[in-house]
Structure 1
Amino acid sequence: MSGVLLINASYQVLCRIEWQRAITLLVTEAADAIENHPSEVVRSKFLTVPLPLIVRLRTYVHVDVGRIKQLRDRQPSYAQVRLRDRRTCAYCGEHGDTVDHIVPQSRGGQNTWDNLITACRECNNRKADRTPLEAGMRLLWTPRPPEADGADQQLVWDALGVG
């Protein structure tokens, strides 16, 4: 799934979020579902909720557009890299739970958006302290800084106090 569309109380599109975060916003009454999946539901022991496609915040969140560039330009955290890559290994396409330096740190590789990629443990260990070319591995996509909506997303979480 490509995520749930999060919109502000003013109906301004903010970003896409994971369905788990959307369910949390609904259950805590911080947001309302505008549109749900026609047949998918999320079940817990005590609750069944239609899978949301669009959720609208109940409280308007001011997003400082000037800070978006600052967020994109700063050194990314490993959590931000995994979020950008949707926790998908850039080498094999499976679930990724580690972050790999494309150019290893031992060779001067930096903690930058274009040098960090999500990888599964197996691929990360196989690549080891080599470049993908040396390891005979190929990236499935070219890493880039997140689009503005990713920076918007962090600003929204900061404003809501749920970081």
Structure 2
Amino acid sequence: MPHVLVLNASYEPLGVVPLRRALVLVLENKAISLEESGAFLHSATQAVPAPSVVRLKRFVRVPYRGPVPLTRRALFARDGGRCMYCGAVATSVDHVIPRSRGGQHVWDNVVAACRRCNHVKADRHLLELGWRLRHQPAPPSGLAWRIIGTGHRDPRWMPYLQPYGADDALERIGVGVTAAAAS
């Protein structure tokens, strides 16, 4: 099912919701559709354009959310779905300093890895293997990461996410802004 970007009344990105929830917000007159996906949803009596971006009519105060939560999906988004050791397609999560040797499960110590590299590295330090990371892991920051970290991306969302660091986030994960707009 497609997902829709939800913006606050101030155009600040709030999150991503399923198409059905976004349509209910629009039909109940709680939100305005800013972008349409080009598809139509049909009922017995009418056809409604499916929204891609909606803006709430009333401002919603959002409490401080803290740092971006470390989830598998957000980690793969941060690393661009590539192994941080060899650059192959990542399929697993690896701790740079193994947990068995005191490593923590935090953004600075967790990377995406391919199955082969994760198996070879096992519970050893990078220095023992003579390996180097392609990029130093760091926690993502900015409102755009809350959206990009969900794993759902739509090029129609970019104009609404760019003021909140989407360009930096997409560059960091290896997706050019022009490539994201083209897909």
TM-score (structure 1 length as normaliser) = 0.57
User: CA, structure 1 residues 35+85, in 2 after alignment: closer, same or farther (shift >3 Å)?
Assistant: farther
In the comparison of the two structures, how many residue pairs are matched?
126
**Is 1:30 the counterpart of 2:54 in the alignment?**
no
For residue 101 of structure 1, what is the aligned residue in structure 2? 95
The residue matched to 1:89 in structure 2 has which SS? Answer: coil
Query: Contact 1:117–1:143 (CA<8 Å) still a contact in 2?
Result: yes
Counterpart in 2 of 1:12? 11
Deviations 1:107-126 (A, max 9, x none): 10010110000111111112
Distance 1:33 1:58, change over 3 A: closer
Q: Is the 8 A contact 2:6 2:55 kept in 1?
A: no
Q: Deviations over 1:102-149 (max 9, x none)?
A: 001111001011000011111111211112222222211111111122
- Given that residues 97 and 103 in structure 2 are in contact (C-alpha distance below 8 angstroms), is that contact kept between their aligned partners in structure 1? yes
Q: Any gaps of 5 or more consecutive residues in structure 1?
A: 37-54, 157-163
Q: Is the 8 A contact 1:104 1:131 kept in 2?
A: yes
Structure 1 position 132 matched with structure 2 position 149:
no
Deviation at 1:84, TM superposition (A): 2.5
* 2-structure distance, mates of 1:11, 1:128: 48
Distance 1:64 1:112 in 2: 25
Find the structure with the greater CA-based Rg. 2
CA RMSD of aligned residues (A): 3.9
Q: CA deviation at 1:62?
A: 3.7
Q: Secondary structure of 1:57's match?
A: strand
What is the alpha-carbon distance in structure 1 between the residues aligned to residue 96 and residue 140 of structure 2?
17
Deviations 1:57-83 (A, max 9, x none): 25468462511x2x44x6x23343223
- Quote the residue 2:105 is aligned against: 111
SS of equivalent residue, structure 2 residue 108: coil
